[in-house]
Amino acid sequence: MKNGKKQTRLSGVERTDQIYSVAAQMICERGFDATSMSDIADAVGITKAGVYHFIPSKKELLFAIMSYGMDTLEAVVIKPAREIADAEERLRAIITSHSMLIARSSNDEGHSPVTILVEEELGLSPAHRRKLRQRKRVYVDLIRSTLEEMKAEGKLKDVDVTAAAFSLLGMILWVARWFRPDGKLSREQVAEEICKIAFGGLLQIQANGKRKNTEQTE
């Protein structure tokens, strides 16, 4: 009686792709440290030594996965946004596409290469960390400069641009932690709500004369 698992021999590129994709999924679900190379090998259906035939080291594997996540972010969010001339419209596009990207790739307890970008920064070598940080910086700069542009147009409230940029990112990235595909809000609705909150805030504008005081601390 043969084992049900057929031990098909795959071509180099096929196997390599498979390893990356399986590893990505496992690392996203269980964390980098909690995923051993043997685990990955088992899931792929070959031995650990077999895995090392295709990938150089565990750290390179993580770096490759996170780079892929960054590639996705650039392709889906950054590049399309750059082609939008109007700053406000551009910001709206960034919030929408990024939120939806994260919501798309987050199932229960599991994350995706796009979300590991945030979670697994440890475990990278300093050189790798530096490379990814630089790519992230470019993205933050895009958001910041977009806000700056809006400020110049008089479209932005009197808020600190850095704090605003990171607050936006916080709202967006946090989606990975609470969004559930089977919940009452769809991906599109989540993106829409975040846009509403980011642009308009929570407080209802008072119709009558007495304005809401947003400044008070005491």
Partner DNA sequence: CGCAACTTACCGACCGGTCAGCAAACTACC
Partner DNA sequence: GGTAGTTTGCTGACCGGTCGGTAAGTTGCG
Which residues of the shown chain bind DNA in the complex (CB under 7 A)?
7-13, 15, 35-39, 45-50, 52-54, 57-59
Q: How far is the C-alpha of 72 from the C-alpha of 166, rounded, in Å?
A: 20
> Which residues have CB under 8 Å from 201's CB, separation 6+?
none
Given the complex with a second copy, which of 3 and 217 has the nearer CB atom?
217
Kindly tell me the sign of the dihedral angle through the C-alpha atoms of 91, 104, 169, 125.
Answer: negative
Given the complex with DNA, which of 40 and 194 has the nearer CB atom?
40
The number of residues in the chain equals: 218
Q: Torsion angle, CA of 121/142/180/198, rounded to 10 degrees?
A: 130
Any contact of residue 193 with a second copy (CB under 8 A)?
A: yes
Q: By rule CB under 8 A, what string of x and - marks binding of each residue 29-68 to a second copy?
A: -xx-xx----------------------------------
131 binds, among a second copy, DNA, none (CB under 5 to 8 A by kind): none
Rg over CA atoms, the chain: 22
Any contact of residue 114 with a second copy (CB under 8 A)?
A: no
31 binds, among a second copy, DNA, none (CB under 5 to 8 A by kind): a second copy
What's the DSSP call for residue 33? T
Q: How far apart are CB 63 and DNA at their closest, in Å?
A: 12
28 binds, among DNA, a second copy, none (CB under 5 to 8 A by kind): none
Given the complex with DNA, which of 50 and 201 has the nearer CB atom?
50
Q: Which residue bears the tokens 């947003």?
A: 214
Closest alpha carbon to 177 in 98, 108, 97, 122: 108
